[in-house]
Amino acid sequence: MEPLDLRETIPALESGTYLNWGAGGPSPTRVVDAVESSLEHHEYEAPTREGMYPAAFDAYDDARNAVADLLGATVKEIALTQSTTDGINRVAGALEWDDTDVVVRTDLEHSSGILPWQRLERTRGVEVRELETENGRLDLGDVKSAASDATLLCVSSLTWTHGTRLPIESIVDVAHDAGALVLVDAVQAPGQVPVDVHQWGADFVVAAGHKWLLGPFGGGFLFVRGGLERERSLRPAAIGYRSVAEENAVDYEYAPGAKRFEVGTASPAPYAGLSEAIDCFDEIGIRTIERRIEALTDRLKDGLRDDRLVSPREFESGLVTISVDDAEATVERLADSGVVVRMLPNLEAVRASVHAYNTNAEIDALLEALSE
């Protein structure tokens, strides 16, 4: 299947030029059909057949397998969450914190990668250090200095502000040499660039399927490096029957691996949609998707002066940040002309998220609208 074949099955793209995939990716009809079919089966048929809980567990299992293949992980290393924010909070709640602990994050993190650490700073006295970056780049020497006595480093693999790819494998090596754990916010990566969590070597990787994978809201996932629970005391703040090895044991034991981060009953529908979205992605292939994104972003960047382009001119991702005089007004003006982008806080800029499902004509429409 080619990207434009799938585009024909995305109803949201019929009514405008959508260039905001980095916020949320509208789903193809087959993904929505999978969500609806899962819910209908669970509510109409499963009660008198296999049972509602077994039906849900099947959907969870399918999603974990699909995510594991997507990330290059094992199934035991995957926990299902609702979102990236949810995954970060589950990690933040699973470690023992006190006022001797240090969390290091970059100044490029989304609020999802800021607020959980601010809360620990307020409630546990944890020191939070901010790593300064330049033009979406992170200096490894700065990482080494900041992580020298850190407990955990939080970093994005692909920055939502600049669209730059950070050298995660090298960052992890530096942090691990200092004895720090590493949590990677990878939500901007799956669905547009290759992801191999074992190559990265990170301890935790959080993401979700509702952006570049075109899945529904509610289908998040968390990777926990195999064996980490034996190396560190990982006791999640919430516990339920999906968290433990035996739910009716007199003395509970957490399930091995990432599953201890799951809690209790959740709708199977978002995970059925996530599995279907990953199937769509697999049918097209990451190389085809990435090459098309590169061609489209090159077309966009060729139409922008250097002083307007905040993102790198060379291809790194489909996120293209553009300097404008009034970001909020520009977003509203573009929306009035049928072009959907977003503004970025703390930058006088707008961000266009270009996916393989966009067209040359849509890129030209954005450039024309920006020139008005």
Chunk the chain into consecutive blocks of 10 residues (it has 372) and report each block's average pLDDT, rounded to whole numbers.
Answer: 97 96 98 98 98 98 98 98 98 96 96 96 96 94 94 97 97 96 98 97 98 98 95 93 94 95 97 98 98 98 94 97 95 96 92 98 96 81
Helical ranges in the chain per DSSP H: 3-7, 29-40, 52-71, 84-92, 115-124, 140-146, 168-177, 197-200, 228-231, 269-284, 286-302, 327-336, 360-371
Token representation of residue 77: 């290393």
Same domain, 163 and 181: yes
Q: Point out the domain boundary residue: 261, 280, 299.
A: 280
Q: What is the pLDDT of residue 94?
A: 96
> Which residue, 170, 180, 240, is CA-closest to 204?
180
Residue 347 has a pLDDT of: 87
Under 8 Å CB-to-CB from 361, ≥6 apart: which residues? none
Residue 255 DSSP code: P
297 and 151 within one domain? no
19 with 113, same domain? no
Q: What is the pLDDT of residue 290?
A: 98
Whole-number Å distance between alpha carbons of 278 and 215: 8
Contact 19, 331 (CB under 8 A): no
177 and 45 in a common domain: yes
For residue 147, what is the DSSP state? T
* 23 contacts 208 by C-beta, under 8 angstroms: no
| Same domain for 136 and 111 | yes
Which CATH number characterizes residue 339's domain? 3.90.1150.10
Enumerate the β-bridge partners of residue 165. 158
Indicate the DSSP class of residue 112: G
Strand bridging mode 204-208 / 220-224: antiparallel
pLDDT of 345: 84
Domain residue limits at 342: 3-27+285-370
What is the C-alpha separation between 97 and 301, in angstroms, rounded? 45
Give the integer Cα–Cα distance in Å for 123 and 268.
34
d(CA 215, CA 125): 38
Q: At what angle do helices 286-302 and 269-284 cross, to 10 degrees?
A: 80
Instruction: Report the candidate in 120, 84, 80 with the shortest Cα–Cα distance to residue 255.
Output: 80
**Total number of domains constituting the chain:** 2
Q: Verify that 269 and 291 share a domain, yes or no.
A: no
Asked which of 213, 246, 280 is the last residue of a domain, the reply is: 280
Cα within 13 Å of Cα(103), Cβ side: 27
Tokens for 97, please give them: 């914190």
Give pLDDT, residue 230.
87
Q: Are residues 259 and 302 in the same domain?
A: no
- Domain with residue 214: its CATH number is 3.40.640.10
Domain boundary among 280, 310, 345: 280
Give residue-wise pLDDT tens across range 186-244. 999 999 999 999 999 999 999 999 999 999 999 999 999 999 998 899 999 999 999 99
175 with 300, same domain? no
Q: Looking at the structure, do residues 273 and 139 belong to the same domain, yes or no?
A: yes
Tokens, residue 362: 């849509």
Q: Both 102 and 185 in a single domain?
A: yes
Model pLDDT for residues 168-184, shown as the tens digit of each residue: 999 999 999 999 999 99
SS3 (DSSP) at 258: helix
Q: Are 29 and 9 in contact (CB under 8 A)?
A: yes
Same domain, 276 and 309: no
Which among 268, 299, 314 has a CA at the least distance from the CA of 364? 299
